[in-house]
């Protein structure tokens, strides 16, 4: 029975991964085209105004992200309890939490945020009124996103990735429609653009709400006096907000430090590195999103054998997926960046390579923090990891002041992340005493062996590779990476699992 359940779970994970990849490809392509149309229609000045004003609101994005994460965790946990679980109770209390956070955000946005926009923002005098309108509609858009978060979290927790992909595709198609509508709009295009985006956000709340209510039978808010559950959700959200805030502060702080010690070209290279690494890691994030609900559910059901096997498989597969992209990119970084940008800023290539190394470590260990989240006791983990993360800024400042090159900022990030990766498995064992530390050590060793084999091969054939065509080099390095992973990186049962998935897709 347990084996049949595992096979069913594996098939569901594989199917959900496909849906998430389709979602990513469609949204990426449509978003790139939409951005091009909007910039051309609004003009660089108005587009810059929207980016600045929207950026002020986006600073609070970790609020909706943390709320969605907490809702998803608690809903998945209740589903894992089976008949003992009460998803509707979690939904009602979660919505109360979202209402509270939306009110807090609204007050902050209409006081501190509004003061900053009216007194500190540097915009042309003839665009002041338009800027104020844009800011108000950006607030409305963000509040809509806050209320969209719990429904998306429920859909992911129920593993309805097909519908989740549909929502995302509908959203980017609507935004594409907005881009074409502002072309023919007779009024102030910047104000019209912000109004239409608000309407799109509201539509994207209503669609998942209707689905959750009519398909999943979730959507009626009950006034419940569940003080403990409310405190647990708010506590979990608060800790994840702290973690998200630390990420934003560290990232933007590093960018500011580069601006202090180097030219704006270094900031441009920093932005390029973030875009490239985020796009590449997006492939792995979609894969991990398919695993996360199962990790929480199996923890709640106390299916330890299946849980730890799933964590190990999610870790090694996530690492290999990113490695398949990382190897060709790192070998031909200059060629790829020049193909994309025509002219590439100084430091951009090395920044990108170091960020990919950073995300390779994250890809391997992401299932561990999912396991910590499943446990629910995230306070200790976020406290020590945030302290380590924030050490990036003083250490980077000291080294930059001492005259070290700009890429030292990224080297410090990689070094601190490496230290975090050493501590994290031991912390999981401390938190969950049944966690098989030795078994996870084998997973890490497999990742190191495959990586070492690829690095050694590259060093031995580097001179030969320099004479190859860049496109041929990318294709060859990708195929060779696939071969090495298949031959020495996968166990027999993992190969059989992949073969089974491929054969099923071919038959369909």
| pLDDT tens string 56-77 | 665 566 666 777 777 878 888 7
Helices (H), 227-347: 227-261, 264-300, 304-331, 333-341
Residue 277: predicted pLDDT: 73
Q: Tell me how far apart the alpha carbons of residues 267 and 146 are, in angstroms, rounded to a whole number.
A: 30
pLDDT tens for 383-439 read 898 899 889 889 999 998 988 888 899 999 999 999 999 999 999 999 998 899 999
Mean pLDDT: which of 2-6, 11-15, 184-188 is highest?
A: 184-188
pLDDT tens for 306-316 read 889 889 988 99
Structure-block tokens of residue 370: 């999912």
Q: Tell me how far apart the alpha carbons of residues 369 and 348 are, in angstroms, rounded to a whole number.
A: 30
173/223: higher pLDDT: 173
137 pLDDT more than 60:
yes
The residue-averaged pLDDT of 210-235 equals: 77
496 pLDDT more than 60:
yes
Helices (H), 158-262: 161-184, 189-214, 227-261
2 pLDDT more than 50:
no
pLDDT tens for 288-335 read 777 778 888 888 888 888 889 889 988 998 899 889 888 988 888 888
- Pick from 41, 81, 366: nearest CA to 180: 41
Query: How many other C-beta atoms lie within 10 A of the C-beta of residue 113?
Result: 21
Q: Please, which contacts does 332-335 make with residues 24 or more away whose CB atoms are closer than 8 Å? A: 332/470, 332/473, 332/474, 332/477, 335/470, 335/474
95: Cβ contacts below 8 Å, ≥ 6 apart: 150, 221
Residue 507: predicted pLDDT: 57
Task: Say how many residues make up the chain.
Answer: 508
Residue 221: predicted pLDDT: 67
Q: Is 216 left (phi over 0), alpha (psi -120 to 50) or beta?
A: alpha
Residue 59: predicted pLDDT: 59
- Pick from 355, 345, 364: nearest CA to 409: 355
391: DSSP letter? T
pLDDT tens for 81-125 read 776 667 778 888 888 888 888 888 888 888 888 888 788 777 778
32 pLDDT more than 70:
no
506 pLDDT more than 60:
no
- Pick from 238, 264, 249: nearest CA to 59: 249
450 pLDDT more than 90:
yes
Residue 440: predicted pLDDT: 92
Mean of all residue pLDDT scores within the chain: 81
Structure-block tokens of residue 353: 């390579």
500/384: higher pLDDT: 384
Query: How many other C-beta atoms lie within 10 A of the C-beta of residue 336?
Result: 19
Residue 430: predicted pLDDT: 92
The residue-averaged pLDDT of 246-255 equals: 77
157 pLDDT more than 50:
yes
**How buried is residue 127: exposed, middle or buried, by Cβ count under 10 Å (0-12/13-18/19+)?**
middle
Q: Tell me how far apart the alpha carbons of residues 66 and 237 are, in angstroms, rounded to a whole number.
A: 5
Share of the chain above pLDDT 70, in %: 83
Residue 414: predicted pLDDT: 92
| Rg of the chain in Å (alpha carbons) | 24
Residue 446: predicted pLDDT: 94
pTM: 0.74
Residue 61: predicted pLDDT: 63
Residue 237: predicted pLDDT: 76
């Amino acid at each position: 029975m347990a084996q049949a359940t595992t096979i069913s779970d594996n098939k569901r994970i594989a199917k959900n991964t496909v849906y998430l990849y389709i979602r990513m490809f469609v949204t990426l392509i449509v978003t790139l085209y939409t951005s091009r149309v909007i910039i051309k229609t609004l003009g660089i000045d108005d587009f810059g105004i929207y980016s600045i004003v929207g950026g002020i609101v986006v600073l609070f994005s970790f609020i909706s992200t943390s709320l969605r994460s907490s809702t998803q965790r608690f809903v998945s946990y209740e589903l894992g309890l089976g008949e003992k679980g009460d998803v509707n109770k979690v939904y009602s209390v979660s919505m109360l939490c979202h209402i509270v956070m939306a009110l807090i955000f609204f007050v902050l946005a209409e006081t501190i945020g509004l003061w900053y926009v009216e007194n500190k923002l540097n915009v042309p005098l003839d665009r002041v009124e338009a800027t104020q309108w844009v800011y108000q509609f950006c607030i409305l858009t963000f509040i809509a996103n806050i209320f969209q978060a719990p429904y998306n979290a429920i859909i992911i927790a129920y593993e309805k990735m097909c519908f989740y992909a549909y929502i995302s595709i509908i959203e980017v198609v609507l935004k594409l429609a907005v881009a074409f509508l502002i072309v023919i709009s007779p009024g102030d295009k910047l104000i019209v653009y912000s109004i239409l985006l608000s309407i799109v956000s509201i539509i994207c709340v209503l669609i998942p709400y209707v689905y959750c209510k009519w398909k999943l039978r979730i959507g009626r808010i009950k006034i419940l006096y569940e003080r403990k559950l409310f405190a647990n959700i708010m506590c979990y959200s608060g800790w994840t907000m702290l973690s998200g805030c630390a990420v934003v502060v560290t990232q933007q702080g590093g960018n500011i430090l580069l601006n202090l010690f180097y030219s704006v070209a270094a900031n441009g290279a920093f932005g390029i590195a973030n875009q490239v690494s985020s796009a590449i890691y997006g492939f792995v994030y979609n894969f991990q999103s398919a695993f996360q609900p199962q990790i929480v559910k199996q923890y709640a059901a106390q299916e330890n054998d299946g849980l730890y096997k799933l964590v190990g498989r999610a870790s090694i597969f996530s690492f290999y997926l990113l490695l398949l992209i990382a190897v060709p990119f790192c070998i031909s970084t200059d060629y790829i960046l020049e193909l994309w940008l025509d002219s590439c800023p100084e430091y951009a290539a090395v920044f990108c390579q170091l960020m990919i190394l950073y995300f390779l470590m994250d890809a391997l260990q992401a299932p561990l923090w999912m396991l910590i989240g499943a446990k629910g006791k995230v306070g200790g983990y976020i406290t020590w990891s945030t302290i380590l993360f924030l050490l990036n800024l003083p250490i980077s400042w000291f080294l930059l002041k001492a005259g070290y090159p700009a890429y030292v900022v990224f080297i410090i990030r990689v070094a601190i992340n490496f230290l975090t990766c050493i501590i994290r498995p031991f912390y999981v064992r401390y938190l969950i005493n049944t966690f098989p530390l030795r078994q996870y050590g084998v997973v890490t060793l497999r990742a190191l062996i495959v990586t070492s084999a690829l690095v050694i091969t590259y060093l031995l054939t580097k001179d030969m590779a320099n004479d190859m065509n860049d496109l041929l080099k990318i294709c060859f390095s990708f195929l060779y990476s696939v071969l090495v992973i298949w031959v020495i990186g996968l166990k027999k049962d993992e190969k059989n699992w992949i073969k089974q998935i491929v054969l099923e897709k071919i038959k369909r």
